[in-house]
Amino acid sequence: MLLTPDEPRPVLLMNTIWASRSQVNDDLTTVAGLSDFLGFATGEDDLRAFRALRQALRDLAAVLTRDTRPVAQDRDLARAVEDLNRSARRAVAWPQLAAEDGELVRHDDGEGAPADRALAAIAAEAVELFTGEQRDRLRACYAPGCVLYFVKDHPRREWCSPGCGNRVRAARHYRRNRAGE
């Protein structure tokens, strides 16, 4: 289950660490979890590589958004840059054009195992995300307890998901009612 299904892939990878009411959860603790995330079979090496890339992405997002949440402390910018670049070099990929039913469609092709290509592609998209026009719209979600990131895609969006918005409104409502007692 993805809490933020419409985010770019690097953000989806970051958000495989997510909070429920009482704890922080991690969707990528097993090979099966990674296979679920990618939609194809993976192995232990892939899991290690994706976890390292995820840590790098979260650290870089934390730096970029000046994230003050407890979950975003202890980041290591130099190591994160190195890990992201290593991931980006893991496979060679190129875009291919296809004509399908009269429509021009992009397909990504390349050399290397599917997991390596996915890793490299997500790392490349992350370079775009952190340096391109979306970089100023990357946000940490400050709803209570939330550990997710999102790209602010319209001016009034404050939270990663409707669920977080609802929790914030409920908490405000509760505080107002308490104050009026």
- The residue ranges that bind Zn ion (CB under 5 A) are 141, 143, 146, 148, 160, 164
Enclosing H/E stretch for 139: strand 138-140
Which of residues 114 and 165 has its CB atom nearest to Zn ion in the complex?
165
Smallest distance from Zn ion to CB 174, Å: 18
Least separation in angstroms between CB 50 and Zn ion: 22
Q: Return the number of the residue (115 or 146) whose C-beta is nearest Zn ion.
A: 146
* Nearest-approach distance from CB 167 to Zn ion, in angstroms: 8
| 17 Cβ neighbours under 8 A, 6+ residues apart | 24, 25, 26, 27, 54, 58, 71, 147
Instruction: Note the Cα 159 to chain centre separation in Å.
Output: 15
Assigned token pair, 82: 């190195």
Helix, coil or strand: residue 2: coil
Between 132 and 144, name the residue whose CB sits nearer to Zn ion.
144
DSSP 3-state of 138: strand
Minimum distance from residue 27 beta carbon to Zn ion (Å): 16
Of residues 47 and 146, the one with the C-beta less far from Zn ion: 146
